[in-house]
Amino acid sequence: MDEQITRREAIDKLATLINPAIPSDDQENEEQSRLEDPTTKHPQPPFNKQFQPFPGLAGKMDPVPDHGEESYVGSGRLNGRKALVTGGDSGIGRAAAIAFAREGADVAINYLPDEESDAIEVIDLIKKAGRNAIAIPGDIRDEAFCQKLVSEAVNQLGGLDILVNNAGHQKTNESILDISTEDFDRTMKTNIYAPFWITKAALPHLKPGSSIIGLSSVQAYDPSADLYDYAQTKAATTSYVKSLAKQLGPKGIRVNGVAPGPVWTALEVSGGQTQENLVKFGEDTPLGRPGQPAELASIFVQFADNDGSFATGQIYGSAGGSGQP
CATH architecture, range 53-318: 3-Layer(aba) Sandwich (3.40)
pLDDT along the chain (325 residues), means of 10: 54 55 57 83 96 94 96 97 98 98 98 97 98 98 98 98 98 97 98 98 98 97 95 98 98 98 94 94 96 98 97 96 78
Q: Domain coordinates of the chain in residue numbers?
A: 53-318
Rounded CA gap, 82 and 287, in Å?
35
Name the phi and psi angles at 259, rounded to 5.
-120, 90
pLDDT, residue 1, reads 43
- Residues annotated catalytic, as ranges: 230
Q: In 3-state terms, the chain is what percent helix, strand and coil (to 5)?
A: 45, 10, 40
| Residue 297 CA: distances (Å) to CA of 90, 192, 250, 292 | 12, 23, 27, 10
Please list, in sequence order, all residues whose beta carbon lies within 8 angstroms of the beta carbon of residue 72, skipping any fewer than 6 positions away: 95, 98, 99, 102, 294, 297
The pTM is what?
A: 0.89
pLDDT, residue 34, reads 83
